[in-house]
Amino acid sequence: MRKLGIGLLGVGEMGRRHAENLRRLVPEARLVAIADVALDRARQVASDLEIDQSYASLDDLLANPDIKAVVIATPDKFHATAICKAAAAGKDILCEKPLAITLDDAHTALQAVKKAGVRLQVGFMRRYDPAYAAAMKRIEAGEIGEPVVFKSIGRDKDVPPIAAYQSNVNGMLFYTNTIHDFDLARWMVGDEVKEVQAYTTVAIRPELAQYRDVVASVLNLKFSRGAIGNIESHAQAMYAYDVRTEIIGSKASIFVGTVAHTPATFMTPGGGTQMLADHFLTRFADAYLAEMRDFVHNMLNDRPPRVSGEDGIKALAIAVAAEESHLQGKPYEVTHSGSRTGTVDDVRMKAV
């Protein structure tokens, strides 16, 4: 069997899952090497998965001629530069979301990809989730008529440690969490978001303000052709990992997702208690795998990736507008050009 040689950059929680999937569950892939600024971590994962090579830098990884494609799972801040380097080395790329944390960086990355003639997929894995995919099939078949309202909820369960904010290597809530819903909004409604309005809160965790982040947000959306929407994001909802989307159409509607997870219910005089989902790696395990298989298959067969760099930058542009609305206290138009906060200055690879 012909196999795609792959190098993986960044083995935090997310990168490790990609490594496991690539090593064990994607027959068309050969995971050649793992790189991480924390070399001991790279070595450990390589050892666990019986991969021969591990590196402390992306440059070393890219120098390996057996590697034809690179999976980028570093913290958000380093995505864009990593893409530029991988593209310059002629590798195809699967980059975790978000594509970048500034539009300038994102444009730079896309230009590098274009110039090098390589292919880039952005990690919006929800498109591969069986429930979202089934919903989309019906939408594309016209079964709900015209989309009128898009609603999405993305609640993480556990309280992030303060170090996660102090490290300053990831974007705020809109870039790390809501970005998935921005992609869903565009994909499922089949239209672009043209304006957003955000309210946010740090009420129960005021110390986040100094890191320019928030605990939760509600975000209204206006689409180009007249649909409207709302996305709620929450960094620490406590009770569960809860991702659900509803599309209200002119003829019918679709609800995706459920907070119930393991189907065991404990029945007492006080009520019936269901077990809930607790983590994205559990809820979207199938989606991460399907995403990787699809990426590898398309690369091997010279096909375009299913989720493009264009999708990445358009979702990012909504995040940027959302942050502006949050900062300025008024609705903000989504624009895809222009920079907001300058460029990434260095390339580190400490993983997500």
Min dist CB 274 to its own copies, Å, is: 5
For its own copies, the closer of residues 133 and 164 by Cβ is: 133
Min dist CB 91 to its own copies, Å, is: 25
Two structure tokens written together for 117: 């003639």
For its own copies, the closer of residues 56 and 202 by Cβ is: 202
The span from the CA of 108 to the CA of 317, in Å, is 14
Give CA angle at 93 (89, 97), nearest 5°: 135
The span from the CA of 106 to the CA of 120, in Å, is 12
Min dist CB 173 to its own copies, Å, is: 12
Min dist CB 105 to its own copies, Å, is: 29
Please give the span between the terminal C-alpha atoms of the chain, in angstroms, as a whole number.
Answer: 32
Residue pair 276/239 in contact (Cβ under 8 Å)? The answer is yes
Min dist CB 71 to its own copies, Å, is: 18
For its own copies, the closer of residues 274 and 339 by Cβ is: 274
The span from the CA of 28 to the CA of 236, in Å, is 37
Query: Dihedral angle at the C-alpha atoms of 279, 285, 288, 289, nearest 10 degrees?
Result: 160
For its own copies, the closer of residues 59 and 66 by Cβ is: 66
For its own copies, the closer of residues 268 and 337 by Cβ is: 268
For 309, residues 6+ apart whose C-beta sits below 8 A from its C-beta are: 99, 109, 110, 113, 120, 122
The span from the CA of 200 to the CA of 233, in Å, is 9
Two structure tokens written together for 273: 């208690």
Two structure tokens written together for 224: 């180009």
Min dist CB 99 to its own copies, Å, is: 26
Query: Dihedral angle at the C-alpha atoms of 70, 74, 79, 81, nearest 10 degrees?
Result: -80
For its own copies, the closer of residues 163 and 203 by Cβ is: 203
Min dist CB 207 to its own copies, Å, is: 14
